[in-house]
Amino acid sequence: MHRVHHSSESSETNSNFGFILSVWDRAQMTYKAAPEKGQEGVVLGLEIYREPKDQTLLSLLKQPFLDAEGLFKWSNLWKGQTPQGVTAKAGSQ
């Protein structure tokens, strides 16, 4: 059940968050019984993380905190810059 969640297809990635109980996925209408291409045809993982260097323990621990460019998501905040899509308060910069 939860394996579908690790598919490279976004409609499947955004499903089956629970790994023991499907009750929450069924209640939130995110449950998928099986991948569209079947269990043997499903491609697991995000394409940008398929290199061997991205499969080390340290890389796997850092991935939730990185953006698509491989930078820490909050690095602009540390530099005093406003993240894209967020408006700064008047007089804050």
Phi, psi of 33, rounded to the nearest 5 degrees: -70, -35
Give tens-digit pLDDT for 45-85.
778 888 899 889 998 898 888 877 777 777 666 565 555 55
CA 81 vs CA 24, 62, 70, 85: distances in Å:
38, 22, 18, 12
pTM above 0.85, yes or no: no
